[in-house]
Amino acid sequence: MIKISSYPYLFSSRYGTPDELKQLIDVAHQNNLYVLLDVVHSHASKNVLDGLNQFDGTNSCFFHDGARGEHSLWDSRLFNYSEYEVLRFLLSNLRWYIEEYNFDGFRFDGVTSMLYHSRGIGEGFSGNYDEYFGLNVDTEAVVYLMLANYMLHELYPDVVTIAEDVSGMPATCRPVKEGGIGFDYRLAMAIPDKWIKLLKEVKDDDWEIGNIVHTLTNRRWMENTVAYAESHDQALVGDKTIAFWLMDKEMYTHMATNSEPSPIIDRGIALHKMIRLVTHALGGEAYLNFIGNEFGHPEWLDFPRAGNNDSYHYARRQWHLVDDGNLKYKYLNAFDEAMNKLEERFGWLHKNPAYVSWKHEDDKVIVFERADLVFIFNFHPTKSFTNYRIGVEIPGTYKVCLNSDDEQFGGFKRVDNNVPHYTYPENFANRQNSLMVSNYHISDIIYLYYIHS
């Protein structure tokens, strides 16, 4: 899936002509890729000469006048969604992108800012329903989003719409006919924020397993979310990538396959794999990778701007890193491929949310079941275990179908993937059956998956 960004009716000529964009979308479709447009209907530039602001000489042609018409943090103008011409302009914009360019759907930017008169500024959104259905809700914007989603899904049944909303407003991802806003998915924005907060502020020895599980599972039933471990704030500008938070300067000296062993690199590679898969399997009904996260890109992508003296130094992705057989980035990329192929095989993203049977703070072990798979993660930095008991619902024989300690993923081959595991009819962890993870250690860089056979 490809995502392209745009304000209404506006593409940057820096990246090519309209016909070249159409060609890009056609080639993507030929390769069975969806192309989504990151559409910004939440606010608009204050530019007067080349924008909508003061289009008729007043402040209120397309926007609210006064304080309601300006976003205090973004220094931009806010649409008046009660005006017929605004609705016609924005809805026509959506149709134009689909019919003229053949986009497959939209990721609506800044939805939280649209939903509330406060624009979401300074609000924590604890989940109290008064936060979602009180006077703070911008009803006109909610109605616009309902109209947009209803129109798109009625006219183009295969369209996909995604809300960038951090607040978690109930029914955001339920159909309009049910009284919902009509989106297909909502971005689980709290998940990448949680990972970065942990990496910045807490040693992995002290990570709270229950808190991690809560963040990954904190979504409403039957409202689809897109889970992701790394956001554009790290992948693009302003922060460090997950890989760089984990391994920092060691990546410049110890990522060669023949370099001397580094516990920082070994642990960082292990946690990078674990963070991605526990997010993929537990965090939602879709999964998002930002460019380079799949192979642990060491640096962000930063566009020339005043803050970096208009430098082009970071305005690129080092794709050659993953293609260099002498570097360890290939291991992370191989794991990403295996992870996604396993999901394609068993389809856990299309199944009910996982059942978490075990989250042990001292052992730092998480166990959950989804799509007839049992996932076992050991986040402990030093502890290994033998004969570790876990609960499972389905009786039978289980076998390893993905193991991060395999050599192809940069592991140490300490696990025999051919050993079968048999269940016992003994209740454990609120499951009907149990099995013993035996014959090897689960160590700090091993996490295993079982499939009922």
The residues pairing with 225 across neighbouring beta strands, listed in sequence order, are: 186
Which residue in 138, 164, 336, 405 is the catalytic one?
164
- Cβ atoms within 10 Å, residue 412: 12
- The one-letter amino acid code at 414 reads R
Distance CA 449, CA 343 (A): 12
Which residue in 104, 109, 230, 406 is the catalytic one?
109
Could you tell me where the DSSP H helices lie in 35-189? 84-101, 111-115, 139-155
CA 182 to chain centre: 20
- Strands 105-108 and 35-39, bridge-based pairing: parallel
Task: Please indicate whether residue 344 is annotated as part of the active site.
Answer: no
Place of tokens 């035996």: 438
Reading across the β-sheet that carries 105-108, which strands appear in turn? Answer: 2-6, 35-39, 105-108, 160-163, 185-187, 225-227, 286-287
* Token representation of residue 13: 């000529």
Question: How far lies 211's CA from each of 74, 126, 188, 358, 366, in Å?
Answer: 32, 15, 15, 13, 12
Distance CA 428, CA 425 (A): 9
Non-local CB neighbours of 297 within 8 Å, separated by 6+ positions = 235, 241, 243, 291, 317, 318, 321
Asked if residues 181 and 145 have their Cβ atoms less than 8 Å apart, the reply is yes
Three-state SS for 432?
A: coil
Three-state SS for 79?
A: strand
Each residue of 173-189: b (16+ CB within 10 Å) or e?
bbbbeeebbbbbbbbbb
Three-state SS for 142?
A: helix
Task: Please indicate whether residue 201 is annotated as part of the active site.
Answer: no
Residue 419: its H or E element: none
Q: What residues act catalytically?
A: 109, 164
